[in-house]
């Protein structure tokens, strides 16, 4: 509407397109040692149209278009224009509250979905860590078992070598001991033979000495007996001669001799 001699202003046509967020959680690929980001959310545009104009699909906030048509013809009478509605095209508090509640529910759902996703991710990571730890334990156990077998084999070889050396040393010492024992036995047998010979010689000499002593005693006794017999015989002869002399002396004259 235009007035002569006045400034006219067209009522602004304003369209507000408010984006209500709709969240789509993208799938995540998990790897050990990776850093995980929070799931991204994508807001899909939702249009709220509060004017009589036709809705524009995919439109965003547009600044209100204000058209002023100025006429510089001197007005005969000054007339005040009707004030423009400042709240036209702006959501009222009830709509704002409704949108807020919707957004809050969407955020709560996103929060719960995020908790669920984090819990699932935690369980998956725990499972992966447990599997990796089990594999490492199996590998370490296999490695330790291999090292143990190698050490046992090396120890067996060392012990076998020492055992062979010990057996050789024992055999050498046993042979030396047998030789020494044989030498001592031979020496003992020789000494025993010499001792038996000496003992036999001693017995023979003792028997010979005893026989000689006995013979000497017998000879001495026979000699003594003979001497005694001769002495007794001489004494008897002497007595006989004396008797004869005495008998003859009675019969011979004085001064005569036989």
Domain that includes residue 57, residue range: 1-23+38-86
Domain count, the chain: 1
- Asked whether residue 9 is domain-assigned, the answer is yes
Exposed/middle/buried for residue 228 (C-beta within 10 Å: 0-12, 13-18, 19+): exposed
Phi/psi at 2 (5° precision): -125, 140
- Asked whether residue 79 is domain-assigned, the answer is yes
- Asked whether residue 253 is domain-assigned, the answer is no
- Asked whether residue 101 is domain-assigned, the answer is no
| Number of neighbours of residue 25 by Cβ within 10 angstroms | 15
Give the model confidence (pLDDT) of 89-146 as tens digits: 888 889 999 999 999 999 999 999 999 999 999 999 999 999 999 999 999 999 999 9
- Asked whether residue 226 is domain-assigned, the answer is no
- Asked whether residue 42 is domain-assigned, the answer is yes
* Residue 4 contacts residue 73 (beta carbons within 8 Å): yes
For tokens 């050396």, the residue is 165
Can you tell me the mean pLDDT for 10-15?
A: 39
- Asked whether residue 233 is domain-assigned, the answer is no
Q: How far apart are CA 33 and CA 129, in angstroms?
A: 10
Of 136-140, 158-162, 206-210, 248-252, the poorest mean pLDDT is in 248-252
The overall average pLDDT reported for the chain is 74
- Asked whether residue 64 is domain-assigned, the answer is yes
């Amino acid at each position: 509407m235009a007035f002569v001699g006045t400034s006219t202003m067209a009522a602004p046509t304003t369209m507000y397109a408010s984006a209500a967020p709709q969240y789509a959680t993208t799938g995540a690929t998990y790897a050990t040692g990776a850093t995980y980001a929070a799931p991204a959310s994508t807001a899909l545009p939702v249009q709220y149209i509060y004017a009589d104009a036709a809705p524009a699909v995919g439109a965003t906030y547009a600044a209100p278009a204000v058209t002023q048509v100025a006429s510089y013809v001197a007005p005969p009478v000054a007339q005040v224009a009707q004030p423009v509605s400042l709240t036209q095209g702006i959501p009222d508090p009830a709509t704002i509250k409704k949108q807020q509640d919707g957004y809050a529910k969407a955020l709560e759902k996103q929060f719960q979905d995020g908790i669920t996703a984090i819990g699932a991710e935690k369980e998956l990571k725990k499972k992966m860590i447990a599997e990796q730890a089990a594999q490492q334990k199996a590998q370490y156990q296999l490695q330790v078992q291999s090292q143990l077998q190698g050490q046992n084999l090396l120890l067996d070889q060392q012990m076998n070598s020492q055992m062979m050396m010990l057996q050789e040393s024992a055999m050498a010492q046993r042979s030396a001991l047998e030789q020494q024992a044989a030498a001592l036995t031979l020496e003992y047998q020789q000494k025993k033979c010499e001792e038996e010979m000496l003992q036999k010689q001693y017995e023979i000499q003792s028997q010979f000495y005893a026989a000689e002593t006995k013979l000497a005693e017998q000879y001495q006794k026979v000699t003594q007996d003979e001497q005694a017999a001769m002495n007794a015989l001489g004494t008897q002869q002497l007595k006989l001669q004396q008797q004869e002399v005495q008998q003859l002396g009675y019969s011979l004259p004085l001064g005569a001799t036989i």
